[in-house]
Amino acid sequence: MLTTANFFQYTQWSGIATLVFAALTFLAFILKWGIRFRLVGTTGFMLVVTAGLFGLSIVPLSRTVIPGAARYTLVYDNGSTQAVIATSPKITPTQLEATLRQAASNLFSYGRSGTREDGNLTVRARTIIHPETGISVPVYLGEVKRSLVSHQNSPVAVKIYTDNFAKLPKPTA
């Protein structure tokens, strides 16, 4: 996977190419070449590419990995304070706690806006069970709350709904 250091190196090369195209464009206008307006477009495009690569060199692209976490799918996110993830019905409470912590860390963003009443990101975990043929029932297994104000050293409150684990189908041997 590409790292921020790779993107910074690509930004440097793209910046050099942008300067070369800008010099060529300047020269084309002085010498009245026929491709001078195409070079203006190329230089503008290179500026956009360089700015994009610079942005990718600043923002980390890695996700948090917590040992013991299970795979999950994001099924709802209002972009502010609430999100819902879906897990397998075969998940254990310890796996669910690690999964909720991982999801809370991965879904945190400084762009999320908390409200005055609730400045926390709430991530709920659910699964789908099928008690009868043709009937699907969502079962909420737990939730995690974390602060939207700070990413570092913010307390993470995990709540596991143990009574809902009793509703899950028992594994057959």
DSSP code for 109 = -
Q: How confident is the model at residue 5 (pLDDT cuts 50, 70, 90)?
A: confident
For 12-44, the pLDDT digits (tens) are 999 999 999 999 999 999 999 999 999 999 999
Structure tokens at 79: 């972009």
Average pLDDT for 152-169: 84
pLDDT of residue 57: 86
For 65-83, the pLDDT digits (tens) are 889 889 999 999 887 888 9
For 81-123, the pLDDT digits (tens) are 889 999 998 888 999 999 999 988 888 877 777 655 667 889 9
Taking the C-alpha atoms of residue 63 and residue 59, their distance in angstroms, rounded to an integer, is 12
Taking the C-alpha atoms of residue 101 and residue 69, their distance in angstroms, rounded to an integer, is 8
pLDDT of residue 125: 94
Taking the C-alpha atoms of residue 46 and residue 11, their distance in angstroms, rounded to an integer, is 11
More confident: 60 or 143: 143
Whole-prediction pTM: 0.65
